[in-house]
Amino acid sequence: MGDPGPTSAAALRILVTEAEFDLAAEAERLETGPETGAVVTFLGRVRDVVSEDGGGLRHMEIEHYPGMTERALEAIAREAADRWPLAGVTVIHRYGHLAPGDRIMMVATSSRHREAAFEAAAFLMDYLKSRAPFWKKEVTADGEAWVAAVEKDEDALGRWR
Amino acid sequence: MTLRVLYFAWLRERIGTGREEVETGAATVADLVEELRAREERYAVAFADMTTVRAAVDQELVPLDTPLAGAREVAFFPPMTGG
């Protein structure tokens, strides 16, 4: 009996898109088979910011690295599928021009039991924050500024090592 | 060798292009940065603080001392802010 290689049979779905996505349809896509007892979804939205003059966020520009971004998301999803017994992993991330309240991204995981689905979803979010090739620029009444990476996002990876 | 060099986010803005072909004999990513810095002021400005710059060789995130032998594409960008 040789090593069959990667043991995970999880279905990975990775999408990097400018378009809006359908959260309900994506969750439903993971409702496969009677043995899948849990589907966890996380939705990320563009949060308004309060600027000095109280003007708030006009919009956000999200840049990515076509090719590398998809590969990085797939590697993170595959890592989750190797760590937890998942049936499916979906990662969708948008780029381009987004307004406050717009959906930026989602992850969804499915498994027999909720623990694996919840933990894998949290793992995916922590890794996406600092390992997915996206860069955000915020445009407010004060001008525009690139969002800096924050230490706590890097620190959050510590709990998965 | 000729490398395709890509820049993202504020590096792209400071350098003034997102993509260029660079003829170089640089042995490592760090050597390439040195070459670019010496070339023009805008590169020196963009690469002034390397603690805020990340690099990828052929779309894999790598440390700056990574050799460039066989590489086709090098990218420079700030720390990533996905999610």
Q: Express each pLDDT in B34-57 by its tens digit.
A: 999 999 999 999 999 999 999 999
User: Does residue B35 belong to any structural domain of this protein?
Assistant: yes
**Å from B52 to nearest chain A CA?**
9
pLDDT in tens, chain A (161 residues): 444 445 578 999 999 999 999 999 999 999 998 999 999 999 999 988 776 666 789 999 999 999 999 999 999 999 999 999 999 999 999 999 999 999 999 999 999 999 999 999 999 999 999 899 999 999 988 899 999 888 888 888 888 98
Closest CB to B83 among A65, A128, A146:
A128
Domains and CATH numbers, chain A: 11-154 (3.90.1170.40)
Task: Tell me the mean pLDDT in the region B27-38.
Answer: 97
Selection from B9, B61, B59, B52 nearest residue A127 by Cα: B61
Tell me which residues of chain B, numbers 28 to 67, contact chain A at a CB-CB cutoff of 8 Å: 56, 59-61
Mutation target to probe the B interface, by most B beta carbons within 10 A, among A135, A136, A157 is A135
Of A65, A68, A147, the CB nearest to B81: A147
DSSP reduced 3-state for B57 = strand
**A160 vs B7, which has greater pLDDT?**
B7
- Do the domain assignments include residue B83? no
Element (H, E) at A140: strand A134-140
- Among candidates B59, B75, B81 on the partner chain, residue whose Cβ is nearest the Cβ of A71: B59
Sign of torsion over alpha carbons A98, A99, A102, A104: positive
Cβ separation A149–B82 shorter than 8 A: no
Task: Examine residue B39 and state whether it is found in any structural domain, yes or no.
Answer: yes
The pLDDT of residue A5 is 47
Per-residue b/e over A121-148, b at no fewer than 16 CB within 10 Å?
bbbbbbbbbbbbbbbbbbebeeeeebbe
**Percentage of chain B exceeding pLDDT 90:** 96
User: Which residues of chain B lie closer than 8 angstroms to A125, CB-CB?
Assistant: 83
Cβ neighbours of B77 in A, within 8 Å = 65, 133, 135
Report yes or no on B13 lying in a domain: yes
Tell me the residue range of the domain where B39 lies: 2-77
* Burial (0-12, 13-18, 19+ Cβ within 10 Å), A49: middle
Cα-trace Rg, chain B: 12
Q: What is the pLDDT of residue A60?
A: 95
| Residue B82, domain member (yes or no) | no
Residue B64, pLDDT above cutoff 50? yes
Total number of domains constituting chain B? 1
Q: The CATH number of the domain where B52 resides is what?
A: 3.10.20.30
Closest Cβ–Cβ partner in A125, A137, A149 for B80: A149
